[in-house]
Chain A
Amino acid sequence: AQSVSQHNHHVILSEAASLELGCNYSYGGTVNLFWYVQYPGQHLQLLLKYFSGDPLVKGIKGFEAEFIKSKFSFNLRKPSVQWSDTAEYFCAVRGNFNKFYFGSGTKLNVKP
């Protein structure tokens, strides 16, 4: 069965630190990959997505993610986090039969 693993459940960083959130999925076919973010008190919203082409995708607010097919990974990165990046981040995979699979989420707390 398909699954999505987010290795870090809770990350605490200081402002200006670099961020990398891990995401691994188990699915052998063609996949579409997403990162969604939920800021405190707000709806889940799309941060970035990968369908095909350049494996390095850029999203909103300076975030980027790299799809490494051989490692079944889609890690999220940001060179320098801000306090406003405090949120919960969800990795998602949409593979065969168009079912969405979400990870359990990573709570990021950025200290000012």
Chain B
Amino acid sequence: KAGVTQTPRYLIKTRGQQVTLSCSPISGHRSVSWYQQTPGQGLQFLFEYFSETQRNKGNFPGRFSGRQFSNSRSEMNVSTLELGDSALYLCASSLELGAGEKLFFGSGTQLSVL
């Protein structure tokens, strides 16, 4: 069974640009969540999707948005990039939406904003 796939693996952008990251969950998983990982900050929750609906949202500005498609694949978009957006963006999937669900993580997309 294929794991969570994130593309691209690396991205270099300049300030003011926008970027779209993609996440394909494990087959059969219906919930996808996104996290921003930076050294010393750990993982910060961005948002969670289930059945094409955003179910939870973290404390990030509106420049960060996402969506989920009918096949459970998800995309995350960041507009008007800032230097501070440089981070590893992780996607995780789980079978269902629930507090006890085990998360399966992808390798992440390393975003560098110059």
Contact = CB atoms under 8 A, between A and B. Distances in A.
Interface string B9-44: 000000000000000000000000101000011111
B105 A43 contact: yes
Contacts of A100: 33, 35, 43, 45, 48, 103
A61 to B, nearest CB: 16
Interface stretch (A14-22, A45-53, A64-72, A79-87): A45-53
Interface residues of A, number: 24
A86 to B, nearest CB: 18
Contacts of A103: 42
A44 interface: yes
A93 to B, nearest CB: 10
Contacts, number: 60
B40 A104 contact: yes
Interface string A1-17: 00010100100000000
Interface residues of B, number: 26
B43 A32 contact: no
B98 A104 contact: no
Contacts of B63: none
Interface of B: 3-4, 33, 35, 40-45, 48, 55-56, 58, 90, 92, 97-100, 102-107
Interface of A: 4, 6, 9, 32, 36, 43-46, 49, 51, 90, 92, 94-95, 97-105
27 contacts: A32-B99, A36-B105, A43-B4, A43-B104, A43-B105, A43-B107, A44-B103, A45-B104, A49-B100, A95-B99, A97-B56, A98-B48, A98-B55, A98-B56, A98-B97, A98-B99, A99-B45, A100-B33, A100-B43, A100-B48, A101-B45, A102-B35, A102-B43, A102-B45, A103-B42, A104-B41, A104-B42
